[in-house]
Structures are given as C-alpha cells and as structure tokens.
Structure 1
C-alpha cells in the first residue's frame, strides 16, 4: 500500500497546515477510497449512481472538509441488484489493475425506502 514513512510525512504536513494531525490509518483509508472511486468511474455505475455524503463533499467540492470513512450513493434509476454486484466486481478489477489494491466487500447495506414508500402520516 503506502509506505509508513510517507503516511507519517503526509500526516505531519496536514497537521502543520490545519493544526490537527490526521491519523495515518485515516489517510490510508482515504487513499483506498480514492482508488475505488477511480475504478468505479470506469464502469456503467458512473451513469446510474449519485455520489453523496461526507466523502463526496470532500472529494468533489471542499478538499479541506473532514475525512470520511465510507462512500454513500443513491441509485438514479432502477437496476437489478445482481447487475450492481457485477459492476462493482468490474470496479474492483479496475482498482487492482491500476493500483495493486485488492478490494473485497465485507457488507452490503441496502436502503430501499423511497418517496413512494413513505408511511402514511395520517395528516
């Protein structure tokens, strides 16, 4: 992955710049998340997922925003779950080919609640 020395130097540089030291594990996670986003961008998911949340803010709009631990997406159109899994496998292959980082899924969280599925408030 990233040599420990480089992580320490980066962490120290960020501390001098922002007054707060970022743990090396957080920097390494951010590095991996960045590579995953690169791999994802080379799949059809780029057109059907909306990237949102803290990592999206940091990566797309405010580089000095807080570090985040996860990636949040919303489907922009209906896609079978199996197809999403296949596209993710392709993204993982891209990451390994481009960076040498091997990614595996430890957990899938699915939130299926949509505007048409909201419970009746009784109003």
Structure 2
C-alpha cells in the first residue's frame, strides 16, 4: 500500500505536483486491473501511457488511458472497464465511469480527493501490430506479472503520425522524437503502419 507521505515525498524528489504522481499510480493500477481480464476485455492498450507503463519506465508522465477495441462494441468495452475496476488493488477507491460521453474515470487515491482520468476508446482503428507485454513495476504494490495486449512501438508511432496530420499537440512531437531517437534511429520502419491506420482515413 502506498501512503500519502510516500507519494508526496516522491513528488518532491521529482519536482512534480503530488497529483501528477498520484495519477501515475492510479493509471498503473487500472491497467493491472484490465490485464487481469485477459483477452476477455477485447481491448488493446496504446498511446503515451502505454509507452511509459509497458516499454520505457523513465518516459514522460501521462494523463489518460487510450484503447482500441479489437473485439466487441464500444459499449462492451466500457462494460469490461467497469468489470476491471473490481480487480484494481492498491490505495485506489471509488472507481466509476462518469455519466458524460465519452465518460471519464473517477477515483480516489492516496491524497484523498476525487480525481478524473480521460478515457479514449476507439472502435474505428485498423490495428496492424500488437504484442503482449508485462506491466513495468513502477509501484511496489502492483500485482506481479500483469500482462496485456499493447500496440507495438511501430503501431504507436504510426498513430502518432496520423494524429499530427489531424491536430498539433506538443506531446505527439515529443513521443515521435523519443521513439525515433531511442528505438528506430533513421530506419523507415513505420511506413506500413501509417498506410492504413484508420478505417475512416485510408489515404494516410
């Protein structure tokens, strides 16, 4: 169990707001809960949060959960997420989906205040490359050997490039810079990933 004092001490060490560290704690435990469902969830984890929690432990802190649905409907995906709440361990309580659409995840963490996480569930993604990864042990009270299906780094990069064509956000530039400098180098590895990343825009 993570105490409030431990969390605030970690925040001071990293010169970050305590709520940012608490959010990272909540994200990791929520993903562990979804991993406990196995293939039943029909979800594939993706985005910057997936990079931090499954590939690169020192990666930037993230603020949301992104998934693609590979089996079932969006409503069934939300039902799976609700079911996963029952498997969430650690000092996380009061988990629920808000009534707005798209819903957010409401929770109470070690700091004792209600917080919200953005939740993005996509059903129109043409998912080409996935793999099963073990959740990195960011927190000592995470369940051991939590494994779930995740976009490969190539697939994440392809989606980031597509997003840059539709919007301009600093985190997308940063994510691509890290992926190319840390993993891809100058190799043209993502051409196949951007050629059909979305069923709604096959021209990309």
Distance 2:199 2:28 in 1: 34
Gaps of 5+ in 2: 103-119, 126-197
The residue correspondences of 1:1-123 to structure 2 (distance < 5 A) are 2-13=2-13, 15=14, 21-43=15-37, 44-45=40-41, 48-77=42-71, 79-95=72-88, 98-99=89-90, 100-106=92-98, 107=100, 108=102, 109=120, 111-114=122-125, 115-118=198-201
Deviation at 1:2, TM superposition (A): 4.7
> How far apart, CA to CA, are the structure 2 residues paired with 1:39 and 1:112?
21
Task: Say if 2:36 and 2:87, in contact at 8 Å, map to a contact too.
Answer: yes
How far apart, in 2, do the equivalents of 1:57 and 1:39 lie? 18
Rg larger for: 1
Q: CA RMSD in A?
A: 2.6
The Cα offsets for residues 26-67 of structure 1, whole Å up to 9 and x where unpaired, read as: 00011111110111111121xx32211111111111111110
Q: Give 3-state SS (helix, strand or coil) of 1:10's partner.
A: helix
TM-score, normalised via structure 2 length = 0.47
Structure with the bigger percentage of strand: 2
Q: Name the structure with the higher helix share.
A: 1
Q: Residues of 1 paired with 2:65 and 2:74: CA distance?
A: 18
Rounded Cα–Cα distance in structure 2 between residues aligned with 1:110 and 1:7: 29
Preserved CA contact (<8 Å) 2:70 2:123 = no
Contact 2:44 2:69 in 1 (8 A): yes
Deviation at 1:22, TM superposition (A): 1.9
The aligned length equals 110
TM-score, length of structure 1 as denominator length: 0.73
Task: Name the SS for the 1:117 alignment partner.
Answer: coil
Q: How far 1:119 sits from its partner (Å)?
A: 7.6
